[in-house]
Amino acid sequence: MSDAGSPGTTAGTGRIAAFFDLDKTVIATSSTLAFSKPFRHGGLINRRGVLKSAYAQFVFVASGADADQVERMRAHLTSLCAGWDVAQVRAIVEETLHDIVHPLVYAEAADLVAAHKADGHDVVVVSASGAEIVAPIASMIGATHSVGTEMVAVDGRYTGEIAFYCYGPNKAAAVRELAERNGYDLSRSHAYSDSSTDLPMLEAVGRPSVVNPDRALRKVAVEREWPVLAFTKPVPPRPRSATPVVAIGLGAMAATGAAWYGLQRRRKR
């Protein structure tokens, strides 16, 4: 777990927090897959790895990811990163963060984060992506804390093993741990997610909301009368003099992924 910013306070019997899933809740795609091109430029993956990541990103955006898909994606990415230099990964993420991620942030999510902070709430990003990716993104959007998947590293390099997988019930466990540590009143706290795999986290708070929900989560939200939010607008580009922004469109990523998929189909034939 990592902190980003200073904690807020509330006037009630306990502090209030707002817990946000990251992928397809705060940003429009997978935060991990979004860095495939910078990782290639840094020599961490090859061109084939970029194409596979682009196609996986296209599928993720178009149809979401159920538990089996997320598990396959996790296995692929953890095996891929075995041997990577941790310091190099952190440097690449920091250097390309605003170019890669800022254009993908939902304006509605940014406004909601700002509203919670204005109300004195802590904002916590809880994601299955690696902590080295989650923490800088959380800091960029003004979150107070972040929790991500913790990879095992030996002598400064990832082994491919996972110390803590921030997914499913583990997200709820992380939320409860933070609540105990920081004095959050979970019955008065909020949580936001797009995926039914995050149901344990949503159920851990008294004020859950769903964002662009998958079919299973939408059904639960309707049955339980949870708010259903639709996030569609990207954050407006920042002036280059303030923060350089080079938008990488999802259409281009999808086209690249489709090309890889077509190549695979032709090979099978």
Which letter does DSSP use for residue 187 in this model? G
DSSP assigned state of 13: S
Torsion of the alpha carbons at 125, 133, 53 and 64, rounded to the nearest 10: 0
Active site residue 21: yes
d(CA 198, CA 263): 34
230 burial type by CB count under 10 A (0-12 exposed, 13-18 middle, 19+ buried): exposed
Residue carrying the six token digits 């990592």: 2
- φ, ψ for residue 167, nearest 5 deg: -150, 145
Catalytic residue among 23, 122, 198, 214, which?
23
Question: Residue 86 burial by CB count (10 A; 0-12/13-18/19+): exposed, middle or buried?
Answer: middle
**Pairing state of beta strands 122-130 and 17-20?**
parallel
Give the containing element (helix H, strand E) for 115: helix 107-118
CA distances from 234 to 107, 110, 157, 177, 231 (A): 5, 10, 35, 32, 9
Query: In this structure, what token pair is assigned to residue 259?
Result: 């090309």
Asked if residue 104 lies in contact with residue 110, where contact means CB atoms within 8 angstroms, the answer is no
> Which residue in the list 21, 122, 194, 214 is annotated as catalytic?
21
Cα–Cα distance measured from residue 259 to residue 177, given in angstroms and rounded to the nearest whole number: 44
Q: Please, are residues 129 and 31 in contact by the beta-carbon 8 Å criterion?
A: yes
Active-site residues, by number, are 21, 23
